[in-house]
A and B are shown apart, each in its own frame.
Chain A
Amino acid sequence: MVDFVQALVDGAMLGATYSLLGLGFTLIFGVLRRLNLAFGPTILVGIYAGSATHLLWPGWFPAAAGATVGSALLAGTYVERCAFRVLARHPPVVAMISSFAVSMQLQELVALLAPSRTMAYPTPAWLSPIELGPILLRADGLLMWGGATLITALLFGVLYHTRLGRAIRAASDSAEAARLMGVDVAAAGVAAFLLASAVGGIAGVLIAASHQQVTPYFGLWATVKGLTAMLLGGAGSLLGAVAGGLVLGVVETQTLAYLGGQYRDLVAYALLLLAVALPPARPGGDL
């Protein structure tokens, strides 16, 4: 029983970061109605920039975190211009393929510029684990959960209490109606993209800090996690992305605990396939 609860707690903490990734995906999908497969690699650029910063100026966590988010924003801008703005009039699948092509570019860029494949990433030193009876809340888990909850709250604050947020939500709901109401839908799309890149960058900081290292596999991995989290909660729903991330985290951790590492990824991908295979909520809509 204790194991189950422990895995549940670990899963919730892991799931919080998946929720962040899912939120990033949802922001872009909500307004642009397109999947950004370069999302993970965008964050990859960020975390490697953070690692490089740590290499040059060790001992100062905010520097690495800032470099991560900043680079993620830059990479996100590049992706948005190349794969989405240019292809705005094409069918959504085309942008998806293009984003994958751009992601290949970003992955190679990281491989070329990084001094070694796996690099160390700093962790804030002042974290310590908490024990609640028999349940251990690991320091890295607390970091992920605390950071993710904070950023999610901030994000919802921006989306529900600022004009920009209202524009983004309006454009997500119905681009045509928003346009008629005077919302600059294209600008809202760019803003959503940048917001998603920033959120992704912070998710990258949290994940990299909890793992204390960065690897090139992070790119596709983060994309798949974010995509699964978004789809599990119903594509385009922000709260759904949060819930989807948590569910994914819990399912993964429980699978890991009871079936072992081999089946963890299997179950995660099976979940993704299931999420896509189910008929869309809206008749005539597909994702």
Chain B
Amino acid sequence: MGRISFGQQGFFVIGAYAAGMATALGGAPLAAGVLVGGLAAALAGAGFALVMGPRRGIAFAAGTLAFGELARVALLAFRFQVLVGADLVGPAGPDGFRGIRLLFTSGLPLGAYAVAIWVALAAIMAALTWLLRARPGEALVIVGQDEGLAAAAGIRVARVRVLALAAAGGLAGLGGGLLAHYATYVEPGHADVMLGVHSLAYGLIGGLGTPIGPALGVALDIGLLESFRVLRGYRMIIFGGLVVVFLAMRPRGLLDEATVHRLARRLRRRVA
């Protein structure tokens, strides 16, 4: 909806902590735990929208930066340990939250976990694509372009903002919960502003406006990461330079909406 966020890492880590607490402290099953993480992060997103929603541009972006760092610093002070069996488990401030073992103690093979994640990702991308083509997507785009016009057209702008930010937070939170179980721990350091900037860059480089863009961005970055292992130390310099170049030359990214539509049309013509 026409806003830039540096704060996705905040939602990511909130989801991770919440999911970890659900399974390690609350005894929830894996899927439920991850969903709880997503829900917690979605609530945080909605809350953020209520506070910062009306702001745009630089103010909004600065607010997301503040939020991300606030989450990190708050988690540094967050201690909540409960006796589970014979050990004290739970968030331990700067030492993080260790012992999120449900993935490994449940006997689920890691391959199945990976497949489940990919399936879920595909489902979410399909849902987003459908949603963006339908009414909600149009409302989102109009709110992004001109909020006054959107309100005049009868769109409930505040509601769109809350839902959009809840969705953004929730998705990041799901990711956080999944990572927490894979890594068996999560710590405040995971809310690194670099993570947020990378998530932003994935969209900027891969393409804004459709779910395919960020996926391409991730593929490029992880691909770049691997191929640039030779130039390991210069990764940030190259990545940063790429972002600068893209912003100057192709601000909507590689696979922006126009390109995706053109490709889709060409595909449909060939198939039909």
Chain A interface (Cβ < 8 Å from any Cβ of B): 34-35, 82-83, 86-87, 90-94, 96-98, 100-105, 107-109, 111-112, 220, 224, 227, 231, 262-263, 265-266, 269-270, 272-273, 276-277, 279-280, 286-287
- Inter-chain CA distance A111–B242, complex, in Å, is 19
- Contacting pair A272 B237 (CB below 8 A): no
Chain B interface (Cβ < 8 Å from any Cβ of A): 4, 6, 51-52, 54-63, 65-67, 69-70, 73-74, 76-77, 93, 193-194, 197, 200-201, 204, 233-237, 239-244, 247-248, 251
Cβ-defined partner of A87 (8 Å) among B60, B70, B234, B247: B247
Looking at the assembled complex, report how far the CB atom of A26 sits from the nearest CB atom of chain B, in whole angstroms. Answer: 14
A-B pairs with beta carbons under 8 Å apart, 15 shown: A90-B247, A90-B251, A93-B61, A96-B61, A97-B4, A101-B243, A104-B194, A107-B236, A112-B233, A265-B69, A266-B70, A266-B74, A276-B66, A277-B51, A286-B57
Cβ-defined partner of A101 (8 Å) among B4, B59, B241, B251: B241
Instruction: List 6 other contacts, CB 8 Å, given A97-B204, A104-B240, A276-B60.
Output: A93-B58, A94-B251, A102-B244, A108-B240, A112-B233, A279-B54
Closest to A99 in B: B244
- Contacting pair A94 B66 (CB below 8 A): no
- Inter-chain CA distance A107–B233, complex, in Å, is 11
Closest to A224 in B: B69
Instruction: List chain A residues, Cβ under 8 A from B243.
Output: 97-98, 101
Q: In the A-B complex, list the 4 residue pairs whose CB atoms are closest, starting with the nearest.
A: A101-B243, A108-B236, A104-B240, A105-B240
Looking at the assembled complex, report how far the CB atom of A261 sits from the nearest CB atom of chain B, in whole angstroms. Answer: 10
- Contacting pair A286 B55 (CB below 8 A): yes
- Inter-chain CA distance A273–B248, complex, in Å, is 29
Cβ-defined partner of B244 (8 Å) among A98, A262, A287: A98
Closest to A228 in B: B66
Cβ-defined partner of B55 (8 Å) among A87, A98, A270, A276: A276
Closest to A264 in B: B73
Looking at the assembled complex, report how far the CB atom of A13 sits from the nearest CB atom of chain B, in whole angstroms. Answer: 24
- Contacting pair A100 B236 (CB below 8 A): no
- Contacting pair B234 A276 (CB below 8 A): no
- Contacting pair B52 A101 (CB below 8 A): no
Which one of B66, B67, B74, B77 has the greatest number of beta carbons of chain A within 10 Å? Answer: B66
- Inter-chain CA distance A115–B56, complex, in Å, is 42
- Contacting pair B197 A104 (CB below 8 A): yes
- Contacting pair B6 A100 (CB below 8 A): yes
Looking at the assembled complex, report how far the CB atom of B57 sits from the nearest CB atom of chain A, in whole angstroms. Answer: 5
Looking at the assembled complex, report how far the CB atom of B95 sits from the nearest CB atom of chain A, in whole angstroms. Answer: 13
